[in-house]
């Protein structure tokens, strides 16, 4: 018995037309699920980045307006290519559209 066959399961990759280790298939599926989020000028955003607002935004439900140039620290990606989750003092659950921010 070969060592590779006993190391794990294999699955058939229909796109490539070959049998590959299940771990490799899972890694390929995970990388395909990751969404690229880009700011207003095309910079790639990642969890923990700092962004600056490029226009005044009225926050629904908070009765507050975030002014252009406001710094938002430590963003989190949501899995949507156009939305980022943010924390800002006085506003809980703030979600911003990527088109209104620029990476700092």
Q: Tell me: do 15 and 46 sit in the same domain.
A: no
* 3-class SS of residue 28: helix
- Tell me: do 52 and 85 sit in the same domain: yes
Phi, psi at 12, each rounded to 5°: -85, 120
Using CA atoms, how far apart are residues 9 and 72, in angstroms rounded to an integer?
45
Per-residue pLDDT band for 26 (boundaries 50, 70, 90) equals: confident
Q: Which residues pair with 84 in a beta bridge?
A: 77, 96
Pair (44, 89) in one structural domain: yes
Domain identity same for 23 and 49 = no
Q: Are residues 29 and 41 in the same domain?
A: no
Band of residue 28 on the pLDDT scale cut at 50, 70, 90: confident
What's the average model confidence in pLDDT over 26-33? 69
Looking at the fold, whether 20 and 48 belong to one and the same domain comes out as no
Which whole number is the average pLDDT over 84-103? 92
Q: How many CB atoms lie within 10 A of CB 80?
A: 13
Look up the pTM and report it. Answer: 0.67
**Does residue 26 sit in the same domain as residue 49?**
no
- Which structural domain range is residue 29 located in? 3-33
């Amino acid at each position: 018995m070969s060592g590779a066959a006993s190391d794990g399961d294999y699955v058939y990759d229909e796109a490539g037309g070959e049998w590959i280790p299940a771990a490799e298939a899972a890694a390929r599926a995970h990388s395909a699920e990751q969404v690229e989020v880009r700011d207003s000028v095309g910079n790639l955003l990642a969890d923990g980045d700092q962004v600056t607002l490029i226009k005044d935004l009225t926050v629904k439900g908070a009765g507050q307006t975030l002014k252009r140039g406001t710094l938002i620290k430590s963003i989190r990606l949501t899995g949507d290519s156009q939305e980022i989750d943010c924390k800002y003092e006085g506003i809980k659950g703030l979600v911003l559209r990527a088109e209104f921010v620029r990476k700092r």
